[in-house]
Amino acid sequence: MAKKTRLTKVAQGIGAAVGRADRAAHQVAKVAAAAQDELARLRKDVQALTKKVKKATERLKRAAR
């Protein structure tokens, strides 16, 4: 097998670093997508709770009359 030149070794190191960075970027994107879904779900829950509180206060106002 031919001897690896210094340029080949450096190129291999650069390629490995790019691969690691790409993998990390994919993992971050995956986590970000999951967080975005979770945030949307929480937003819906907060809206539902706000609606319930509003209805409850209306009922209490009517009952207090």
Can you give the pLDDT at residue 2? 66
Q: Name the maximum alpha-carbon separation found in the chain.
A: 94
In order, the DSSP letters of 4-54 are PPHHHHHHHHHHHHHHHHHHHHHHHHHHHHHHHHHHHHHHHHHHHHHHHHH
- 25 within domain boundaries: no
Can you give the pLDDT at residue 4? 80
Per-residue pLDDT of the chain in tens (65 residues, 90 and over written 9): 567 899 999 999 999 999 999 999 999 999 999 999 999 999 999 999 999 999 999 999 999 88
Can you give the pLDDT at residue 1? 55
- 39 within domain boundaries: yes
Total domains in the chain come to 1
Can you give the pLDDT at residue 48? 97
Range of the domain at 40: 31-65
- 26 within domain boundaries: no
